[in-house]
Amino acid sequence: MGVPLPDVTQTAVVTGAARGFGAVAARALHAAGYRVVLTDIDGDAAQALALELDLAGETAVTASLDIGKAQDYQIVLDKVVERWGSCEVLVNNAARTEAKPVLDIDPADFNAILAINAGGCFAGCQIFGRHFKERGYGRLINMASLAGQNGGTATGAHYAASKGAILTLTKVFARDLAAFGVTCNAISPGPMDSPMVHAIVPPEKMDGFLANLLTGALGSLDFVARMVVMLAGRDAAFVTGACWDVNGGLYMR
């Protein structure tokens, strides 16, 4: 098993950190005392958030990372290690989609989304997982989706398939890295109060949409962020290979 870390500040890398889940996760981790590295293809938005968190740039910085390019993960990790000596947490949040009916999805687009979302998660877990294994400690946190569990089509079949693949990858990395003090878990949100949901559900249809939720309301991104902080902590050492459902009762297991 991994050895306990000394009580020092840890570093977390968050992909897709400019907005949505990634932004609230970065905020929460920073508030919990982590140094955070905000990565996003929208560098300006990520930089604005980093400056908001720490104007001096000592505990919140940005890095360019395209989840469709595996080498970017290694570049970011190398920069983090060069600056702070190590990294302890990776939050695989970034993803892409294009909502289309399944019969209208071009096979090339299907393969591209699967390669970007699932392939990016694989690359991140593999590259950071090697570093975590070598250190004897680490936390891999993958953002999945209800769509990957129940075959939801609102965000596209290619998106749903990629999120289903991420759930499987989470279990595989959890199995292979557990003996080295490394955990790997997934969070699977349902309808959240997020830009993605508001883009998919027109305002005039929101009441009917909410009627399908046992809670009667969209979920809070802040709750997901607190879950990220919990899974990133040392006290979550006995939690690995799990999928944490946050869906308002739409999907029960």
Domain boundaries, the chain: 11-246
Residue 157, judged by CB atoms within 10 A of its CB (0-12, 13-18, 19+), counts as: buried
pLDDT for res 2: 52
pLDDT in tens, 104-133: 999 999 999 999 999 999 999 999 999 999
pLDDT in tens, 166-190: 999 999 999 999 999 999 999 999 8
**What's the fold here for domain 11-246?**
Rossmann fold (3.40.50)
- The Cα-based distances of 218 to 148, 186, 189, 212 in angstroms read 19, 20, 11, 11
* Residues forming a β-bridge with 63: 39
pLDDT in tens, 38-71: 999 888 999 999 999 999 999 999 999 999 999 9
Taking 80 as the threshold, does the pLDDT of residue 8 lie above it? no
**pTM check: above 0.75:** yes
Confidence bin at 17 (pLDDT 50/70/90): very high
- The Cα-based distances of 147 to 50, 52, 153, 155 in angstroms read 30, 33, 7, 8
Taking 60 as the threshold, does the pLDDT of residue 4 lie above it? no
